[in-house]
Every structure is written in structure tokens, then in C-alpha cells.
């Protein structure tokens, strides 16, 4: 009986991609090690992608404005520019793009 519980618990805890909010652009960030601030990593990720021209040419000041307007989300919660990012995959949603 306990063996079944452990299997169901592991299946329940498996990571999955969160639902993307409507009218948003998703940036997937994969890190080998954690970083202290997410703003620089997100700026590099936006500039390196080619799918969204507005984000490809975004300035540091414009990205800061998005943070201030609470338009950058991680798992449905507001992200701050000084938020740290853990190693692994992080899905960042930018609302309005």
C-alpha cells in the first residue's frame, strides 16, 4: 500500500510547463547555476530570440518599465528585477506581447 503512495506522489510532483497567460510572450530560460538577479538574464534572453521583434530590440529602461508595471510573471506571480533565478528551467511570461 505504501509503495503505491510513493509512486503516486512522485507522479504528482513531476515538473510541467505552466499555462501561458493570454496576450503574453513566453521566454524559457535554462540555467546551469543560479543567478542573483533575473533582469540581466531576461534582457539577454529577449535580445537573443528572433520571434518577437519588439522584445528583440528592447532597451534596459523599457524592460525596467515592464517590471514596474508588473507585466513580467513567473508561475502567475509578479517577478521583480532583483528576483533570483534557480538553476534549471524557468518560464517567464511577458504580458502584452
Residue 53 has what pLDDT? 95
Best CA proximity match to 27, nearest among 1, 68, 3, 58: 58
* 2 falls within a domain: no
Best CA proximity match to 60, nearest among 44, 73, 48: 44
Residue 72 has what pLDDT? 97
Which H or E run includes 46? helix 38-48
* 77 falls within a domain: yes
Residue 9 has what pLDDT? 41
User: For the whole model, what pTM was predicted?
Assistant: 0.80
* 5 falls within a domain: no
Residue 15 has what pLDDT? 63
Residue 33 has what pLDDT? 95
> Which residues of the chain are under the pLDDT cut of 70?
1-15
Q: Which domain holds residue 42?
A: 18-95
Residue 68 has what pLDDT? 97
**E strand residue ranges, 1-97:** 24-31, 72-74, 77-78, 88-95
Amino acid at each position: 500500500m505504501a509503495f503505491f503512495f510513493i509512486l503516486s506522489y512522485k507522479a504528482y510532483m513531476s515538473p510541467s510547463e505552466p499555462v501561458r497567460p493570454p496576450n503574453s510572450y513566453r521566454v524559457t530560460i535554462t540555467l546551469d547555476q543560479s543567478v542573483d538577479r533575473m533582469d540581466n538574464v531576461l534582457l539577454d534572453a529577449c535580445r537573443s530570440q528572433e520571434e518577437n521583434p519588439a522584445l528583440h530590440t528592447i532597451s534596459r529602461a523599457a524592460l525596467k518599465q515592464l517590471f514596474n508595471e508588473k507585466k513580467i510573471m513567473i508561475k502567475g506571480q509578479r517577478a521583480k528585477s532583483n528576483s533570483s533565478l534557480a538553476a534549471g528551467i524557468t518560464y517567464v511570461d511577458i504580458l502584452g506581447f
